[in-house]
């Protein structure tokens, strides 16, 4: 008789959408990210301060009523950094975050490892051309370069260079997007 193959359960069934106080959230041992680079946290914290938390944390509730974050270790680190900054400068207008109501998608502990791995591997960074075009649209809508830079944790010079890149002719942008030319070569035009 042939052996039956084991069928994996869905990566992360969401059992509830809820909120939790920041001080009740911690990184789950099942989280695929074992370390978070401080420079990555600073950029994300700047973005959360400017745009809000765009993606809820993925967590399961433990036996003590706390939430173990299986997906969102960087987001959690950024939120904690913002909370520390808000405690230093309580009038900081950028930190309009309800520390007692952080958005959480609740899952089961049995699915935490698979969910964390899926969240960190099944994603694709935005390409340089698409990011340049998006920043160019923001500038065209009237957002100042300094505001864009702050929102994305970048320097004004970096954002200006990407906005300039967006003004290149479409065939050059397509060649860059397709990997036919490098960013350095595209910037020569």
**Secondary structure class of 155 (helix, strand, coil):** coil
Neighbours of 94 (CB within 10 A): 15
The tokens for 144 are 């100042």
State the pLDDT at residue 9: 47
State the pLDDT at residue 63: 95
Residues in the chain: 189
From the list 85, 63, 76, 123, the residue with the least C-alpha distance to 103 is 76
Rounded CA separation 80/89 (Å): 14
Torsion of CA 108, 109, 114, 119, to 10 degrees: 70
Rounded CA separation 45/51 (Å): 10
In whole angstroms, how large is the CA radius of gyration of the chain? 20
Beta bridge partners, 106, equal 16, 59
What are the per-10-residue average pLDDT scores of the chain (189 residues)?
A: 49 80 95 78 87 92 95 93 79 71 93 85 84 93 92 90 94 92 90
In the chain, where do the E strands start and end?
16-20, 25-27, 57-61, 67-71, 102-106
Rounded CA separation 186/189 (Å): 6
The tokens for 40 are 């990555």
């Amino acid at each position: 008789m042939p052996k039956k193959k084991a069928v994996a359960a869905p990566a992360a069934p969401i059992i509830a959408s809820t909120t939790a106080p920041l001080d009740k959230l911690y990184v789950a041992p099942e989280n695929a990210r074992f370390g978070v680079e401080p420079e990555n946290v600073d950029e994300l914290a700047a973005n959360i301060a400017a745009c809000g938390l765009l993606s809820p944390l993925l967590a399961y509730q433990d036996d003590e009523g706390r939430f173990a974050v299986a997906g969102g270790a960087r987001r959690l680190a950024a939120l904690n950094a913002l909370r520390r900054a808000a405690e230093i400068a309580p009038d900081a207008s950028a930190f309009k975050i309800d520390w007692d109501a952080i958005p959480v998608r609740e899952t089961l502990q049995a699915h935490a490892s698979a969910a964390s791995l899926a969240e960190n591997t099944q994603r694709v960074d935005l390409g340089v051309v698409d990011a340049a075009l998006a920043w160019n649209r923001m500038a065209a809508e009237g957002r100042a370069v300094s505001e864009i830079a702050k929102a994305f944790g970048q320097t004004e010079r970096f954002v200006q260079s990407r906005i300039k890149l967006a003004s290149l002719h479409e065939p050059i942008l397509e060649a860059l997007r397709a990997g036919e030319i490098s960013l350095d070569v595209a910037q020569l035009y």
